Amino acid sequence: MALYSEKVMDHFRNPRNVGVIEDADAVGEVGNAKCGDIMKMYLKIENDIITDVKFETFGCASAIASSSMATELIKGKPVAEARELTNKAVAEALDGLPDYKMHCSVLAEEAINAALDDYFSRKNP
Ligand code: FES
């Protein structure tokens, strides 16, 4: 069996929503101290709906695929729904990740939550 699903390979080779949103309403950056990988999420939010999302990931194939998939899953969604997104849901949407690569999808969940924390702290300083 191949190590990675076709979806993982597709999102790794052609990541969706890569880049920076200069006038983002929220930014979240997280890292994994063990592997040194870093993920940054930028959100554009209007009336509590995520209208745009971009990411920069310096990391492994699974981290890149996870961030790409995570952006697809939260784009156009209410912030409350994005808050509920788990790393498991990201991995499932990718048709699975090897067990020892599940922590890479955690980075995507954490980056979104860090960005949402930033959004709420800007809203209610
Ligand atoms: Fe670091 Fe995948 S090995 S996030």
Q: Is 35 a catalytic residue?
A: yes
The answer to whether the CB of 59 is under 6 A from ligand 1 is yes
- Within 8 A by CB and 6+ apart from 14, the residues are none
Q: What is the pTM of this model?
A: 0.95
Residue-wise pLDDT tens digits, 39-95: 999 999 999 999 999 999 999 999 999 999 999 999 999 999 999 999 999 999 999
**Cα–Cα distance for residue pair 26/116, rounded to 1 Å:** 7
pLDDT digits (tens, 9 = 90+) for 77-92: 999 999 999 999 999 9
Q: Is the CB of 66 under 6 A from ligand 1?
A: no
Distance 48 CA to ligand 1 centre (A): 30
CA distances from 61 to 10, 11, 46, 58, 105 (A): 10, 9, 31, 10, 11
Domains and CATH numbers, the chain: 6-120 (3.90.1010.10)
Is 60 tagged catalytic? no
Helices 61-74 and 6-13 sit at what angle, rounded to 10 degrees?
A: 90
Spatial contact of 44 and 81, defined as CB atoms under 8 Å apart = no
